[in-house]
Structures are given as C-alpha cells and as structure tokens.
Structure 1
C-alpha cells in the first residue's frame, strides 16, 4: 500500500513499514501454571489495554519465568504495539507506544523501531492511515476481524529526517493537547446538560415547574381526585387483563412527599388497561417479514430508537401477536438485562411492532397520560428512583409486573399536564440546541486532528532544515542494521 504522496518533502524518503524495525508476535504463558501470573512485574498487554495512545501498564502481569518458558517475548519500551486480531478492528486500528517493557498476547504484533526512526512519529502516521489500513490490510474469511500482517508490513511510510521526525511529533502533541482540552470541556458541557435535563424533568413531575401557572389557574382546574375517578371508570370498561376485573391497589404514600394542591397519589396499576410483555415462543418467526420485534436496545430513556431493527413475522391473528402489539402512546419499559428500568413512549401509529419478552408494554387508560407517565418514570428523584429500588438480580437485572403495578404516581390535572409538557419541551429544545452546538465542535475538532496529521506527513506542519541528515541516509543505515538485527527483541528497558 502506498501513501499516495506523489512528491515527498525535501530530504524525505519512503520505506515499507516492515523494514523500519524488528517485528514480533505475542504469546500466552500457560494459565495452568499459576506462578506465571502471580506477583508478576511485566505487563501482559491484550487489546483491552490499548484504549489510549501510550501503554503504561496492563490489566494482567506475568513473571520473568513466564517469558523464559513460553512463546511470549519481552518487548522493550518505546516499541509500537498494534492490534491485529479483535472485534474492535471492525471500527478502528489500535496502535500505541509502550512506555515500559511488556509482553503481549497473540492478538497483537509489535515493532521495535531502529534508532533512526522515532516510534511516536511512526505511530502518529499509522493513526493517520487508520481507515486505509483497515480497508487494505483486512484479513478476509476469518470469524474475528483481523489484520494481515504481511500486507501491513508492506504499507508505505514517508520517512522524514530524524530531527524533523522529533519536531513533527512535538508539534502534533502540542496541538492535540490543546484539542484534547477543548474536547474535555465539551464533555463537561455534556455532563452539565444531562444534569440540567434531569433537573427540568424533576421540577416538572414534582409541580415546581408549573407552580406559578397552577396558582393562577387553580379555580378552573379539575382536581386530580376527580380525574382519577374518571380514569378508573375507563379502566373498568376497557379491562384487558386475565380473569375478572380487579380493583387496583392503593399505593403506600407513607414516605412520599406532599403533593401540590389539586394533585393526588395513585398507583401505576390504576392508570393502565393493559400490561404485558412479549412471547417466548416466536423463534420460528425471527428474522423475516415486515414486523418489528422491539428489543431492549430500542428502548432508550424517553426515546424510542429504531436504528436497529429485528424483524419478526408472527401470524397477525395469534393471541400473542394481538396482546404484544404496540399502539401509539403505549409506555415501554425494559424489564430484563443491563438497561432494566429504561422507559420510553411508543411514538407512532405504525402497526406490527411487537414487544419482546425483555420489554413490558403498558397501555394507559387515557392516552393523554402517556407523556406525563413517560417523563415521571424516567425522572431521577421521581419514578426512576422507585424502579431502581425494585430492580433485583445482580447478574441479570429484572423488574416484575407486580413491581411495576405498585409504582406510586402523582396525578396532576390534565390541563396542568398539558402546560407542563409545553414548558418541558421548550427547555428540552434549548438543551438540544446546546447539544447540537457541542456536537458541531466535536466534529470540528476531529476534522482538525485529521488536518494536522495530513499536514504533518506532507511536510507542512513544521519547517524543513536543509542541515538535517537526509532520510535516504537513514534508510541506508537501517537496512544495514536489519541485516545485523537479532530475531528476538532485546531485554533493554529504555530507549533514547
């Protein structure tokens, strides 16, 4: 693979990646020998340790005996580590310089550069070529994403004079440090926005947000107690539960806060005509048809996300299909797995969407309650806290139907709910505008990084010095050193 640069800068040259140092693979000392893995001092690097640009340690360590008695090798500090086998290669090519002597597992390859090549210079170049390497060096026909090492070694690298390599690295790191500071500030903004969003939701569902409006309109509002009575009548008339109709339980309000005037506590059960989850016997219908099986990953906090669609094609007239098909303004709650407790509203009139067994479908007796219920159940300091107290099962979290039914819900007058939604939407719109601006700046920062790297390896980032030894002379020395290089990296601990 060439670097697609038709004209190299003054005193630069070109070489293949494979000829710029000593390459080595990884190995795993026997797990059966516990002494290899106990009180070890040598970091044993695997792909999970390659999240940052430099490696200072690893989750696992091995002993010197483990290195001596296995296929693992001691890789000297300032070597380049590259992930060549991992699912992460579907998205990015992790490469890093190690700051200490390490061993690596079989999913990594290492390159200990010759003294004429600055390892950070080469690492920055490989990062700049990230997507081209993934495209041109991918090993096809393997179950796990992999890089073909032979192709990787043929990658063409622009080589600058050594002093210029150092100047380029220093300039890149200075500019990237400034961009990193900006991105850190943007991440802080994201955290602040998340907290502000939660404060808006909590203020809404506790009545604080509409306190002034409520005081001005108290004389004309239907009391929540009367609204609840109407809802219960609708519930009786539209009951879809099993067996004979059962009156809902009254929630325990002992430890609950006092409500605003005109509000009333009730149970979630009292506000529903239907509560169910998906069928467990639909495997034969999976992966076909136009129906959508709503999975836990589709239920995001106050956001129905269909970026991933799992198709399903059950008979439309089957009892399981009828009871688990969603309608507009149904409430969806994840009841099994890592995202247990996430809540959103089903927002459309589209048919043939069915909840899976990990998602509960809750149908309000009055559709106008849906937005308030979604907001209350998703709000920290309100319904979300109740759900989190109910969640059980450390390994695989769960919520039961009985727990959902018992959630205590504050019921405001419908007119106040409408005003509440108007004010919340205004606040959330403002938050979204700031979030959009934040995303724009992150995109700009990423583009600047790519521009810096492009300029760096086109010779435009720092000035050339005609007194620097030409790269061609470096490559002559490198080729001579290659002929004399040992087949196994030395145990040196530092490099100049």
Structure 2
C-alpha cells in the first residue's frame, strides 16, 4: 500500500480488524450440478467476479455441504483467492443482494463488522492500490494463490464513520454518471458490430456497387467468363501430372439470385486449398528445418495476429509444401465455434512461414481473383456454411477439406471485385475509427473511476468535518468488541 499521510481524524488499520475471512465450499466435481434442483444451492466461483457479481455459468452444490457461515450475506466481499492468471487472482466484488448463494473453495468472503459502512469497505477492494498489493503476494507454480494473511494484513485507511457515508454517497453519485456514459458507449459498439456485418454483406453481394456496376456494365467481363478462364488455367497447370479431376462445383440449391454479370463458384474452383502440418513433438524428421508457423489463434476475423508466433521442426519437403505466399487466404479449420471459418489474407509478414493443420490455405488460381474479396465473402457468409457442413460437439466444431471445398462464392468480374474491396474498406476504416474512439473513452472512464477511488481513500473526495468522531475512537470500539466477543467454532451441517 502507498504509505502517504492520512487526513486528521483518519486511522490506519488492517483488514483483519474490520472483517472476518471465510473460505468457500469444498466439493467434488461429481457432486455438483449444472442445473438448479431441490436441496442444491447456487455456488459462485471466480468467473462470477468482475467488479460486480454476475450469475452466469453457475454450478449448484448440495446444501448439506454448506456450513452456516458459508451462506453469503449482503455486503460480503467475494474475492478470487486462486487463479491460473496473476491478473485475475485477488479480483473482488461486493454482494448488494443475496439470492441464497454460497461460494467455492477457490474464493474467500470478507464479512465486515457492522461498525463500519459496509459499502465503503466494499469499494476499497476495487482500488488499483489493493489489487497491486495482493497481486504481488500471489505465488504458485501453475496456480497463483492468496493466503489468508495476504488479504487480512492489507493496510486499510479508515475515516470517521460519518465521513465514510459521505464518501460512499459521492462515489456512487459519480459512478452512476459514468455508468450511463459507458452504457451509451457499449450500445454504440453493438451498433457498430451490426453495421460492420451489414456493410460487409452489402459489399460482397453487390449492393454496395450497384450504381458503379450499372455505369460500367458495357466493359465488365461476365463472372461466367472469368470462371471459365480460371477453370481452363487449372486444367493447363495440371498437364503432365496424370488424370485431371475437376474441382467440386457449388450446390446452388437455395442460394439467392445474383446481380447481372455474377456467377456462383466454389472455393475449390477459385483456389488451390491445402491443409497444414500436424504439430507432433514426438515425430522425427530425416531432413529437419525449424520454421515459424501460424495457428488458429493467429488467424482472426479480418486480420492476422502476430503477437505470438511459434516455431516447429518439420521435414524440409513438408515445409516447402505448406510455405505461405503473399495473397494466400487463410481459413480456420476448427476450434471453438466462433473460430470456425474465420480468416484473413496473408501478406507475407514473416518469411519463411508455414501453417498448421487446423488452418486451411486457399491460394487463388489466377491474379484476377481478389484474395481480399474472397476473404471478406468468407467472413460474411462462411461460418453458417461451415457449421452446417462441419462436425460439431458441445463447444467445438471442425470442417474437412472436402466440405470446405464446396463453399459457394458469388463471383463478379475482377474489376468489380477491386471496386467492392475499395468501397468496403473505406466504410470499414470509418467503423474502425469510431470503434477506437469508443475503446479510448471506455479506457478513460475506467481511469476516472480509479482516480475517484484514489481520492476517496486518501481523504480528497469529500471535505473533512472536525466534529466527526475520530476514526481512532471507532477503531478502539471495534477492537474492544472483538476482544469481548465469545470465541467459538462454527459448526458444519451434517452431510446428508
């Protein structure tokens, strides 16, 4: 904690003097239920804590497993005591309403004394100072853990009781205004997301270029003729390599009508599709080479994320077969449902670079096929097709090379492809500019919250009143009450 001087009439103490820390319910996974049922209570875990309590993705445990003190009470502060992420351990939220919940063993609940303003106590655990203090204490090889003393020995700046109430009133007035502003910004973000998808679909279906197409119809190559040239190029490039197999044509049943001059084509007709290398650390290569490779995490919707690039050792021949070239279209083969089929164009940012088997590479047959147009089209309509044709489990989905080959693409002339990409990207730049502004304003709002809390807990948010009872007297009364309280053990309910 920052060791700055406190205002007159304030006192410095430790959390242990103001609250008791209760650890959560221990239970076996086989004993928990995903559904509410008689004799079971909802159990909050670390994923339910994020500044506020959310009730998403709850599990339910037998009430017989819950001791009397493990039933959460209004004003308890729930803390994540263990987490695989150092950024999550120590996060906290105060319960403003209770719904008969308990909490898991990876969490702790601070129950403040009634002598202090419970909401003042709760707001302290949203400060950056608190988080920095406990994150420095969390230790563990795989899991970051906070011990009881890490929480209970945190320094706590205590003002007079009346000032606590004035501070809470001021915090909540200011935060209410920030809440309204942030809600408006998030509404804008949702609208931007819908607008972006709407513009994307309008572009790749020809709506965005309807006026341009009408003005230039006399000089545009029909998509049918472009497709014929593509297929002829495929056949010619295969000569001397054995029997040629025509690429799968798209199934046009149920597809919408196209603008004049457009034609339906399959991904396999327009591109050469190839899977990547399988990651297998045990496999030995006779002629090894170590190269960077792209994973599902690198291939995002509309961009390539190069934040973390891993390397793999493979046979040199295999590396050459899966080597990426500028203009290659990348599409995710599987993973979480939201990752299936998303992708973007490789611009040759790293050389050499290959791709793993969960990422398909689609290389245009001729330069007149715009990689960006095809990728935009896939991002607009691909996921529905991939989900329909692929394999699905509860959370995961995947699609085979054969299935993805039949993905239908509405193909205009090469000139219109370029016009579509140009117009679309102008719109997307506008969207990105507003989205970045929203992000900046939300960041600014979060910083302002921390500034308000910093002022609150250093005595600068509201004026001090010399007539308030000094915090030292309040603290002495709390200590005396704790000394006088009977020492007893909380009894656990009998297990049913």
Same fold (TM over 0.5): yes
Residue 83 of structure 1 pairs with residue 80 of structure 2:
yes
Give matches, 1:93-492, under 5 Å: 93-98=90-95, 99-100=97-98, 102-128=101-127, 129-139=129-139, 141-239=140-238, 244-281=243-280, 283=282, 291-315=291-315, 317-318=316-317, 320-338=318-336, 339-348=339-348, 350-369=350-369, 370-379=371-380, 382-395=381-394, 396-486=396-486
Deviation of 1:451 after TM superposition, in Å, equals 0.9
Per-residue deviation at 1:489? 8.5
- Tell me whether 128-137 or 459-468 shows the greater mean CA deviation: 128-137
Gap runs ≥5 in structure 1: 492-496
Q: CA deviation at 1:376?
A: 0.8
Query: Is residue 334–residue 398 contact of structure 2 (8 Å, CA) maintained in 1?
Result: yes
Distance in 2 of aligned mates of 1:40 and 1:235: 67
How far residue 245 of structure 1 moved from its aligned partner, in angstroms, is: 2.2
Classify 1:195/1:437 alpha carbon distance in 2 versus 1 (closer, same or farther; 3 Å). Answer: same
Query: Hey, what's the Cα distance between the residues in 2 that align with 1:438 and 1:109?
Result: 35
**Cα deviation code 1:372-429 (max 9, x no counterpart):** 11011111xx444323322322243111111111111221111111111111111111
Structure 1 residues 456 and 340: CA distance shift in structure 2, 3 A: same
Contact 2:290 2:314 (C-alpha < 8 Å) held by counterparts: no
SS of the residue corresponding to residue 51 of structure 1 reads coil
Structure 1 stretch displaced more, 266-275 or 331-340 = 266-275
Contact 1:24 1:489 in 2 (8 A): no
In 2, the alpha carbon distance for the partners of 1:26 and 1:241 equals 71
Q: SS of the residue aligned with 1:157?
A: strand
Q: Determine helix, strand or coil for the equivalent of 2:309.
A: coil
Per the alignment, residue 28 of structure 1 pairs with: 26
How many residue pairs get aligned? The number is: 480
SS at match of 1:307: coil
1:33 deviates by: 7.1
CA distance in 1, matches of 2:360, 2:153: 54
Q: What residue number does 2:2 align with?
A: 3
Change (3 A) 1:436 1:92: farther
> In structure 2, do the counterparts of structure 1 residues 331 and 45 end up closer, same or farther at CA, with 3 Å as the change threshold?
same
TM-score by length of 1: 0.88
SS in 1 for 2:224: helix
1 CA distance for matches of 2:57 and 2:432? Answer: 39
1: distance between equivalents of 2:377 and 2:55? Answer: 45
Q: Per-residue displacement from partner, 1:46-86 (whole Å, max 9, x unpaired)?
A: 22332352578993455654335xx9744543222222112
- Alignment RMSD (CA, Å): 3.0
Alpha-carbon offset, residue 266 of structure 1: 1.6
Tell me the SS of whatever aligns to 1:481. helix
CA contact (8 A) 1:26 1:72 kept: no
The separation in 1 between residues aligned to 2:357 and 2:373, in whole angstroms, is 25
8 Å Cα contact 2:89-2:146 kept in structure 1: no
Distance in 2 (CA, whole Å) between partners of 1:397 and 1:30 is: 29
SS in 1 for 2:415: helix
- Offset of 1:177 from its aligned partner? 2.0
What CA deviation, in whole Å up to 9, does each residue of 1:327-351 have, x standing for no partner?
Answer: 1111111112111121211122532
Q: C-alpha distance in 2, partners of 1:58/1:207?
A: 42
- What SS does the corresponding residue of 1:372 show, helix, strand or coil? helix
Change (3 A) 1:79 1:465: same
2:134, 2:150 within 8 Å by CA — same for their partners in 1?
no
Structure 1 residues 238 and 456, CA, compared in 2 at 3 Å: closer, same or farther? farther
What is the distance in 2 between the residues matched to 1:259 and 1:269?
20
User: Is contact 2:222–2:262 with CA below 8 Å preserved after alignment?
Assistant: yes
Instruction: Report which stretch shifted further, 421-430 or 175-184.
Output: 175-184
CA distance in 2, matches of 1:198, 1:58: 28
Distance, in Å, in 2 between the alignment partners of 1:131 and 1:484 is: 33
Alpha-carbon separation, structure 2, partners of 1:485 and 1:136: 33
Q: CA deviation at 1:290?
A: 6.4
Deviation of residue 371 (structure 1)? Answer: 1.1
Q: Could you tell me how far apart the structure 2 residues matched to 1:171 and 1:243 are?
A: 80
Farther-moved stretch of structure 1 (93-102 vs 158-167): 93-102
Stretches of structure 2 that go unaligned for 5 or more consecutive residues are: 492-496
- CA distance in 2 between counterparts of 1:119 and 1:360 reads 55
Deviation at 1:322, TM superposition (A): 1.8
Return closer, same or farther for 1:261/1:179 CA change in 2, 3 Å cut-off: same
After the TM superposition, which of the residue ranges 305-314 and 329-338 deviates more from structure 2?
305-314
1:456-488, Cα deviation, whole Å (9 max, x unpaired): 112121222222211000110111122234556
Residue 38 of structure 2 is matched in structure 1 by 39
